[in-house]
């Protein structure tokens, strides 16, 4: 007999032709056993060869015997789920519950193992691509041999479940390749060839699955009848049926696949390592590599946000950036002579006018007057800047240089030399003298008017914040201004956090207002912008700057010695034993934003407003330990109280907080998420188990009732079922209906049913309910 | 030999995609998988060429007839003369109940992997009739389903689906074996009583009404009349193939036949053909005869009238017999 569902599907044939193709239930249990076994072998080979092939290609150590045994167990467990319907439903639930529980138990080790494998793979990728930095996951358990084995076990179980669907369920070669090939491709992409045995295994599985897929006799239905092997598909003009799951088909496929795979592997073993000649102008490969680099450096999160800062200059644009993700491509190539251990700042942009969308220069910008200022500290230096990928809108100049000193290369406009007069230390800095520019009324207005402007709607927020900021009072106006900046910095240090991924500013909210009141975390643009406005509200002329910084660590790590004549590039004293002309590649992670404060007699001097990240990994990066503009600030401006803790997190690199950017991978965050998922899964599992138990209990009880001829309980069951059905269909409204109510409702239901279906459903309700009443109430 | 264009395109497309990936991403290892796909085609084709003409097929019903509510089934058997088999063969067939013609084509896929094997083609019947199956062709596929070979055949087989026997009470009705007297009087069937075949001596058990009193008086011994129809007495079942009541008629006919041959009654079934206005007699003495009669009954055209068969029989048949007219659930003795 065909199922009730098929009867609905073939209703027309049944009505018109009184004949349909029926059902075959002929497969023996032993055949099902063998087919499950064959499929289990395929799942096992595919799982083992893909995961262990990947691990071996990257020489990641793990416990091979345990993995082999465990993968075999997983594979045969999942393939035998298709043995029959009961096993399918019960053991699938058990599998998922066990998987979830074990994952919860060994989460820390599994996560660490996963991170360890990722870290090793990313290191290889980093070497292959020559990347400056990679995403590095946190390993809470350091025993990689153990953790990688545990992670591989979970990954193997998960892969086996997927493969069981693609192989046992659908027998689809494409889907099987989709599940397994990415593992191997991770190695192949950077030309790491796994051992031939893994490639042979995968080839064998793919070939076998191709044969079995096209054979159309490899599937076993499990959701229909227990031995339902006869697949029926209703088409428009013809009906199709297929005998499924034929043992010889498997034997033939295995034999053919083995021979073919062996021949291919033997033939192609030698040329495997031969590089294919590069395709000229292969844009797809290059683009893919770019994406891979983003993945290696920023993780999956790197692809999610469509509007991100890549770490270069934003040109004063703020807000809307949820996180900064440098691409670590070189933006500038700077050739110069280092004279001390201080960071060199190359300013590119100055913003005076604050708008909700960012910092802008004034319409009649007077900064050009500053650019023409002459300095002389007894040192003369030359710096050559080549703009490789930096925004060409700006010139990047060190402090103490003027625009008149810029000399562009005749052959390349983006390469220019600047002669400047760097200050070596604060002791060399001359006593303040009258700023001749202030004589110009326009410039005076610029400093004491434009650089003190605060939007009216922001004043309440700024004033509220300033209540918690108490600068040390002093009569020295310059010192007071510095004290104000320091107080703001301390306030941020105590109450705010540095992060590269603060999230974007909420819709229709001001960037600074949102940062001060809600976010309380951010990167350099946040701290610089807020500091400028707070300073202005305190009466200190200030403005916002962007540019690049070159910390000493970058010089030590990446600088290349050039054969330029030292004397042509620098004359004067040095505080560093590096008497060479160096070329330093500066990538976009060294882009930065800072504050300039106007000090009488000195003009606008830079102030580092960005607080450091206190993450260990950030501090380990090393280049955070410089002290900004120490030549001025260390002594004269009393910055030393912050010492090395006054880390500017300069550029976006210095504050590159891996764990915060990738907090999706962070154990603590994910731990909370995993707990929620586990609770949810356990709840759903418990609910399903409850339904199943209820269903089984009812069936068992009915069987017992029938066996014992317990008419009372059987009638009660039937009566309850009927009442529930009538209630569900809306015929029965009462909560505790009497049999006469149920009868009335049932009569109505039958009348409607017969009317609707134009046929007679003859039920003697009177007799039926008399019987019910008699049994129930007698 | 034909090519499944879609599969071939899909296959070539897969090879193309993988080749493009290997080329774009400069990965020689992917060549393995391309080679795998390339090798599969000739392997499959060579086997297919050598094996595809080595199969022979036969079709037969599982049982000679089935009785409602059971359904008929047929067995398709193949023999393979080649050392290896093929994975897939589509069997294109039509199946219909002759009372309910169908145009639906069915395609059943079977593996041909053994030296010989048989497959059941199960049907599910929802009414009586002659259920027949006709296999039109076999489509053999190679291992990758890229190439196919169609073998046109005409294998036919049929099985009558008989109705379930119904309780029709005391049947046949009390027809006198040796005299028309009560029969004639009670049922008033013609003037058969006048046809005296012979007169013989009285034997114990002869009915008084049959005694030829005049002759007995003359010859001073008891003589009885042997009527002409008594010696050739037959019961003729005349079923009507009325379209609206065919199921009930078949059910009644089957029930009558079964009861009568089990009681070893002498009877014939008269099956009428409404198109040729002809009829055929079947003498049923066993199950085979019953099956033959029922099969013939199923094969006749249906009509709307309710007494076509009876009228034709009565007007044209020279047989002198008890006619039992069957239409729907009504079984009545007729003239």
DSSP A165-230: IIIIIS--HHHHHHHHHHHHHHHHTTT-PPPHHHHHHHHHHHHHHHHHHHHT------SSSTT--E
Beta bridge mates, A428: none
Residues B278 and B289 in one domain: yes
Confidence check: pLDDT of B183 > 60: no
Total domains, chain B:
3
Range of the domain at B119: 1-162
Cα(A86)–Cα(A385) distance, integer angstroms: 73
Q: For A90-99, B260-269, B316-325, which range has the lowest pLDDT when averaged over its residues? A: B316-325
Taking 50 as the threshold, does the pLDDT of residue A116 lie above it? yes
Query: Looking at residue A488, what is its pLDDT?
Result: 92
List Cα–Cα distances, A772 to A7, A741, A742, A775, in angstroms. Answer: 32, 13, 11, 5
Instruction: Give the angle subtended at the CA of A356 by the CAs of A351 and A361, to the nearest 5°.
Output: 20
Nearest Cα to A585, choosing from A568, A567, A562? Answer: A562
Residue A607 and residue A642 in one domain: yes
Task: Give A250-273 pLDDT, tens digit per residue.
Answer: 998 999 999 988 888 887 765 555
Domain identity same for B150 and B5 = yes
Handedness of CA A29, A35, A38, A44 (dihedral sign): negative
Task: Select from A19, A202, A266 the residue whose CB has the most chain B CBs within 10 Å, as the one to mutate to test that interface.
Answer: A19
Please check the confidence at residue B11 and state whether its pLDDT lies above 80: yes
d(CA A747, CA A743): 6
Q: Are A82 and A88 in contact (CB under 8 A)?
A: yes
Closest CA of chain A from B310, distance in Å: 29
**Does B179 score more than 80 pLDDT?**
no
| Angstrom distance (rounded) from CA A344 to CA A422 | 10
* Chain B residues touching A19 at Cβ < 8 A: 95-97, 100, 102, 123-126, 131
Do A637 and A703 share a domain, yes or no?
no
- Please report the pLDDT score of residue B319 as a whole number: 60
* Residue B178: Cβ within 10 Å count: 15
Q: What is the pLDDT of residue A634?
A: 30
Contacts of B99 in chain A (CB under 8 A): 18
Nearest-by-Cβ selection for B100 from A17, A23, A278: A17
For residue range B227-256, list pLDDT tens digits in order: 544 434 578 888 998 888 888 899 888 888
Contact A265, A200 (CB under 8 A): yes
Task: Using DSSP bridges, classify how beta strands A542-550 and B129-141 pair: parallel, antiparallel or unpaired.
Answer: unpaired
- Under the banding of pLDDT at 50, 70 and 90, the label for residue A656 is very low
Q: Is residue A260 part of a domain?
A: yes
How near does any CA of chain B get to the CA of A535, in Å?
54
Please, what is the Cα angle at A171 between A168 and A174, to 5 degrees?
130
CA angle, A213 then A218 then A219, to 5°: 100
Tell me which residue in B40, B85, B102 faces A207 most closely, judged by beta carbons: B40
Angle between helices A711-728 and A765-777 (to 10 degrees): 130
8 Å CB contact of A243 and B28: no
Q: The tokens 């545990």 sit on which residue?
A: A150
Same domain, B226 and B237: no
Q: How far is A305 from chain B (nearest CA, A)?
A: 26
Q: Is residue B175 part of a domain?
A: no
Residue B147 sits at φ, ψ, to 5 deg, of -110, 150
Is B114 inside any structural domain? yes
Tokens of residue B9, six digits:
């395109």
Query: Which residues in B lie closer than 8 A to residue A193 (C-beta atoms)?
Result: 29
Cβ atoms A478, A602 nearer than 8 A = yes
For residue A190, what is the nearest residue in chain B, using CA coordinates?
Answer: B27
For chain B, what percent of residues have pLDDT higher than 90?
Answer: 7
> What domain range is A374 assigned to?
330-658
Task: Provide, as residue numbers in chain B, all residues whose Cβ is less than 8 Å from the Cβ of A20.
Answer: 123-124
**B281 Cβ under 8 Å from any chain A Cβ:** no
B121 touches A: beta carbon within 8 Å: yes
d(CA A110, CA A147): 6
Token duo for residue A283:
């844009």
Cβ–Cβ contacts within 10 Å for residue A359, how many? 26
Domain check: are B281 and B226 in the same one?
no
Of B72, B134, B76, residue with least CA distance to B101? B134
- Indicate yes or no: CB of B105 within 8 angstroms of CB of A237: yes
Q: Which of A207-211, A517-521, B189-193 has the lowest mean pLDDT?
A: B189-193
List the structure tokens of A127: 């070497």
Give the nearest chain B residue to A274 (CA atoms).
B28
Asked whether residue B122 falls in the same domain as residue B224, the answer is no
3-state helix, strand, coil in chain A (%, to 5): 55, 10, 35
- Counting the structural domains of chain A, the total is 3
Q: Sorting pLDDT into bands at 50, 70 and 90, what band is A157?
A: very high
Contact B105 A21 (CB under 8 A): no
**Which one of A40-49, B58-67, B141-150 scores highest in mean pLDDT?**
A40-49
Tokens representing A339?
């004279």
Give one DSSP letter per residue of A240-256, joined into a string. Answer: EEEE---HHHHHHHHHH
Flag if B120 and A265 touch (Cβ within 8 Å): no
Distance CA A734, CA A425 (A): 93
Does A13 fall in a domain? yes
User: Do A683 and A713 share a structural domain?
Assistant: yes
Is the minimum CB–CB distance between B118 and chain A shorter than 8 Å?
no
Query: Does B152 lie in the same domain as B62?
Result: yes
Give per-residue pLDDT as tens, A319-355. Answer: 666 667 777 778 899 999 888 888 888 888 888 888 8
Residues A629 and A714 in one domain: no
Length in residues, chain B: 335
Residues of A in contact with B85 (CB under 8 A): 248, 252
Residue B209 maps to a domain: yes
State yes or no: pLDDT of A51 exceeds 60.
yes
Task: Identify whether residues B245 and B142 lie together within a single domain.
Answer: no
Q: Is residue A298 part of a domain?
A: no
Query: Is A408:A356 a contact under the CB 8 Å cutoff?
Result: no
Residues B128 and B203 in one domain: no
Domain-embedded: residue B42 = yes
Whether B22 and A20 lie within 8 Å, measured CB to CB: no
Question: What average pLDDT does the segment A723-749 reach?
Answer: 81
| Domain co-membership, B210 together with B253 | no
CB contacts of A240 in chain B (<8 Å) are: 106-109
Cross-chain Cβ contact A246/B113 below 8 Å: yes
pLDDT of A636 above 50: no
Query: Phi and psi (nearest 5°) for A463?
Result: -65, -40
Give the mutation candidate from B26, B128, B247, B302 for the A interface (greatest A CB count, under 10 A).
B26
* CA A693 – CA A684 distance, rounded (Å): 14
Q: A355: helix, coil or strand? A: strand
Residues A475 and A408 in one domain: yes
Last residue of some domain: B230, B252, B285?
B230
- Cα B23 versus chain centre, distance: 64
| CB within 8 Å of chain A, chain B residues 251-270 | none
A569, A581 in Cβ contact below 8 A? Answer: yes
Which residues in chain A are closer than 8 Å to B7, comparing Cβ atoms? 214
Regarding whether A161 and A81 lie in a shared domain, the answer is yes
Same domain, B123 and B8: yes
Using DSSP, state whether A533 is helix, strand or coil.
Answer: helix
Q: Does B33 touch chain A (CB under 8 A)?
A: yes
Decide if B184 is inside a domain: no
Kindly state whether residue B180 falls inside one of the protein's structural domains.
no
B141 and B84 inside one domain: yes
Same domain, B243 and B323: yes
* H or E segment to which residue A380 belongs: strand A380-387
A571 occurs within a structural domain: yes
* Number of cross-chain residue pairs from A and B with Cβ atoms under 8 Å apart: 178
A325 vs A52, residue with greater confidence? A52
Cβ atoms A297, A133 nearer than 8 A: yes
Residue B24: its chain A contacts at CB < 8 A?
A: 279, 282, 284-285
A291-319 confidence digits (pLDDT tens):
887 777 666 666 654 444 555 677 777 76
Reported pTM: 0.58
Q: Do B99 and A237 touch (CB under 8 A)?
A: no
Tell me how far CA of residue B270 lies from CA of A162, B285, B324, B325, in angstroms: 67, 14, 10, 10
Distance from CA of A194 to the nearest CA of B (A): 9
pLDDT of residue A183: 93
Q: Which of A271, A304, A322 is at the close of a domain?
A: A271
Please give the full DSSP string across B19-86, using - where no structure is assigned.
Answer: HHHHHHTT-GGGHHHHHHHHHHHHHHHHHHHHHTT-EEEEEEESSS-EETT---EEEEEEEE-SSS-E
- Region A478-489: what's the mean pLDDT? 90
CB contact under 8 A, B110 and A214: no
- Does one domain contain both A377 and A238? no
Is the pLDDT at A226 greater than 50, yes or no?
no
Residues B3-11 have a mean pLDDT of: 86
* A675 and A600 belong to one structural domain: no
CATH of the domain at B88: 2.60.40.10
Whether residue A627 is predicted with pLDDT greater than 60 in this model: the reply is no
Tell me the mean pLDDT in the region A187-192.
Answer: 86
Please give, rounded to a whole number of angstroms, the shortest distance from the CA of A191 to a CA of chain B.
7
Are A127 and A251 part of one and the same domain?
Answer: yes
The tens digit of pLDDT for each residue in A436-459 reads: 677 777 788 888 888 899 998 899
Is residue B306 situated within a structural domain? Answer: yes
Q: Judge whether residue A711 has pLDDT over 80.
A: no
What DSSP state is assigned to residue B321?
Answer: -
B145 inside 8 A of chain A by CB: yes
Q: What mean pLDDT value characterizes chain A?
A: 78
Tell which of A221, A245, A271 closes a domain: A271
Q: Which of A220, A240, A271 is the last residue of a domain?
A: A271
Residue A561: enclosing H or E segment and its boundaries? strand A560-561
The percentage of residues in chain B with a pLDDT greater than 70, rounded to a whole number, is: 85
Residues in chain A closer than 8 A to B102 (CB atoms): 13, 16-17, 19
**Selected residue of B11, B87, B115, B163 to mutate for chain A interface (largest A Cβ count, 10 A):** B87
Q: Where are the alpha helices (DSSP H) in A441-544?
A: 441-448, 459-466, 477-495, 511-514, 524-537
| Same-domain check for residues A681 and A618 | no
Does residue A429 sit in helix, strand or coil? coil
- Answer whether B109 sits within 8 Å of A241, measured CB to CB: yes
Both A90 and A212 in one domain: the answer is yes
CB B284 within 8 A of CB B290: yes
- Asked if residue B181 belongs to a domain, the reply is no
Residues A386, A243 within the same domain? no
Of A189, A252, A288, the CB nearest to B113: A252
Q: Average per-residue pLDDT in chain B?
A: 80
Nearest 5°: the CA angle A566, A569, A575 is: 75
**Strand A358-360 and strand A570-571: pairing?**
unpaired
Beta strand ranges found along chain B (DSSP E): 2-3, 55-61, 66-67, 73-80, 86-97, 105-112, 116-125, 129-141, 147-162, 196-201, 223-227, 235-239, 267-273, 278-283, 322-327, 330-334
């Amino acid at each position: 007999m065909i199922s009730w569902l098929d009867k609905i599907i073939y209703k027309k044939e049944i009505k018109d032709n009184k004949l349909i193709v029926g059902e075959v239930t002929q497969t023996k249990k032993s055949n099902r056993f063998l087919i499950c076994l064959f499929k289990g072998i395929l799942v096992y080979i595919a799982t083992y060869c893909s995961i262990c092939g990947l691990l071996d290609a990257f020489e990641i150590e793990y416990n091979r015997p345990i993995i082999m045994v465990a993968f075999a167990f997983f594979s045969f467990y999942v393939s035998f789920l298709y043995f029959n319907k009961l096993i399918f439903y019960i053991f699938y639930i058990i599998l998922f519950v066990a998987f979830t529980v074990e994952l919860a138990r060994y989460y820390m080790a599994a996560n660490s193992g996963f991170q360890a494998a990722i870290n090793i793979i990313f290191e290889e990728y980093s070497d292959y691509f020559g990347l400056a930095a990679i995403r590095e996951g946190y390993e809470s358990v350091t025993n990689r041999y153990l953790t990688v084995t545990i992670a591989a076990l979970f990954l193997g179980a998960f892969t086996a479940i997927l493969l069981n669907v693609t192989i046992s369920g659908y027998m689809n070669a494409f889907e099987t390749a989709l599940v397994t090939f990415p593992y191997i491709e991770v190695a192949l992409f950077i030309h790491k060839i796994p051992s031939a045995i893994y490639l042979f295994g995968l080839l064998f599985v793919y070939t076998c699955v191709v044969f079995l897929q096209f054979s159309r006799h490899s599937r076993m239905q499990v959701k229909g009848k227990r031995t339902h092997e006869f697949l029926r598909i209703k088409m428009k003009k013809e009906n199709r049926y297929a005998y499924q799951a034929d043992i010889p088909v498997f034997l033939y496929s295995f034999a053919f696949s083995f021979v073919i795979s062996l021949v291919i592997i033997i033939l192609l073993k030698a040329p495997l390592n031969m590089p294919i000649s590069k395709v000229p102008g292969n844009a797809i490969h290059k683009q893919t590599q770019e994406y891979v680099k983003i993945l290696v450096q920023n993780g999956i999160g790197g692809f999610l946000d469509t509007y991100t800062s890549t770490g270069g200059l934003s040109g004063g644009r703020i807000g809307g950036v949820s996180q900064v993700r440098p691409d670590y491509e070189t933006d500038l190539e700077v050739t110069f002579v280092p004279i001390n251990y201080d960071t060199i700042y190359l300013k590119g942009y100055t913003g005076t006018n604050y708008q909700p969308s960012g910092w802008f220069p004034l319409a009649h910008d007077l900064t050009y007057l500053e650019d023409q200022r002459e300095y002389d500290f007894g040192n003369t230096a030359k710096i050559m800047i080549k703009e490789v990928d930096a925004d060409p809108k700006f010139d990047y100049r060190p402090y103490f240089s003027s625009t008149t000193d810029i000399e562009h290369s005749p052959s390349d406009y983006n390469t220019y030399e600047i002669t400047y007069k760097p200050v070596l230390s604060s002791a060399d800095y001359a006593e303040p003298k009258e700023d001749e520019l202030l004589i110009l009324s326009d410039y005076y207005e610029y400093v004491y008017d434009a650089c003190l402007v605060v939007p009216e709607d922001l004043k309440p927020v700024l004033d509220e914040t300033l209540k918690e900021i108490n600068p040390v009072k002093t009569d020295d106006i310059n010192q007071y201004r510095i004290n104000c900046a320091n107080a703001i910095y301390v306030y941020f240090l105590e109450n705010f956090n540095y992060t590269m991924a603060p999230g974007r500013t909420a819709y229709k909210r001001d960037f600074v207002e949102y940062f001060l009141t809600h976010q309380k975390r951010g990167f350099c643009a946040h701290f610089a912008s807020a500091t400028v406005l707070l300073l202005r509200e305190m009466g200190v002329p200030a403005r916002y700057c962007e540019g690049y910084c070159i910390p000493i660590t970058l010089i030590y790590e990446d600088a290349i010695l050039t054969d330029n004549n030292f004397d042509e590039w620098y004359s004067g004293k040095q505080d560093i034993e590096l008497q060479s002309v160096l070329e330093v590649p500066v990538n976009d992670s060294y882009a930065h934003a800072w504050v300039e404060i106007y000090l009488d007699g000195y003009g606008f001097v830079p102030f580092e407003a960005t607080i450091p990240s206190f993450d260990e990994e950030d501090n380990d990066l090393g280049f955070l330990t410089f002290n900004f503009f120490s030549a001025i600030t260390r002594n004269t401006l009393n910055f030393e109280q912050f010492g090395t803790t006054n880390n500017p997190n300069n550029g976006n690199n210095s504050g590159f907080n891996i764990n915060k950017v990738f907090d999706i991978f962070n154990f603590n965050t994910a731990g909370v998420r995993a707990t929620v998922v586990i609770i949810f899964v356990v709840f759903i599992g418990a609910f399903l188990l409850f339904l199943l138990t209820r269903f089984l209990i009812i069936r068992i009880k009915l069987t017992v009732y029938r066996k014992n001829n317990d008419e009372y309980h059987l009638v009660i069951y039937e009566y309850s079922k009927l009442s529930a059905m009538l209630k569900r269909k809306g015929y029965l409204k009462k909560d505790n209906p009497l049999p006469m109510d149920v009868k009335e409702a049932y009569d109505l239901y039958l009348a409607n049913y017969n009317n609707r279906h134009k046929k007679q459903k003859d039920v003697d309700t009177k007799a039926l309910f008399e019987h019910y009443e008699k049994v129930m109430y007698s | 030999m034909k090519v499944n264009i879609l599969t071939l395109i899909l296959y070539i497309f897969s090879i193309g995609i993988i080749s493009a990936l290997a080329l774009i991403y400069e990965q020689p290892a992917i060549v393995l998988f391309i080679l795998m796909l390339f090798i599969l085609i000739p392997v499959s084709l060579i086997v297919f060429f050598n094996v595809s003409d080595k199969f022979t097929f036969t079709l037969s019903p599982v049982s000679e007839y089935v009785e409602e509510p059971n359904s008929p089934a047929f067995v398709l058997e193949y023999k393979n003369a080649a050392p290896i088999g093929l994975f897939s063969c589509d069997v294109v067939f039509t199946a219909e109940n002759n009372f309910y013609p169908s145009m639906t084509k069915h395609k059943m896929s079977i593996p041909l992997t053994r030296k010989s094997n048989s497959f059941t083609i199960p049907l599910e019947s929802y009414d009586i009739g002659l259920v027949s199956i006709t296999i039109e062709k076999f489509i053999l596929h190679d291992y990758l389903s890229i190439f196919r070979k169609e073998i046109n055949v005409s294998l036919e087989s049929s099985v009558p689906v008989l109705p379930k026997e119904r309780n029709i009470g005391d049947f046949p009705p009390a027809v006198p074996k040796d005299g028309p007297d009560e029969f004639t009087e009670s049922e008033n069937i013609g003037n058969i009583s006048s046809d005296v075949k012979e007169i013989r001596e009285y034997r114990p058990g002869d009915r008084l009404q049959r005694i030829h009193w005049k002759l007995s008086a003359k010859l001073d011994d008891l003589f009885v009349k042997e009527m002409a129809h008594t010696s050739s007495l037959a019961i003729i079942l005349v079923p009507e193939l009325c379209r609206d009541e065919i199921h009930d008629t078949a059910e009644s006919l089957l029930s009558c036949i079964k009861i009568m041959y089990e009681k070893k009654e002498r009877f014939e079934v008269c099956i009428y053909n409404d198109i040729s206005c002809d009829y055929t007699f079947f003498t049923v003495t066993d199950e085979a005869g019953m099956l033959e009669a029922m099969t013939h009954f199923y094969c006749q055209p249906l009509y709307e009238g309710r007494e076509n068969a009876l009228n034709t029989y009565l007007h044209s048949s020279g047989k002198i017999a008890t006619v039992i007219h069957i239409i729907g659930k009504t079984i009545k003795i007729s003239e």
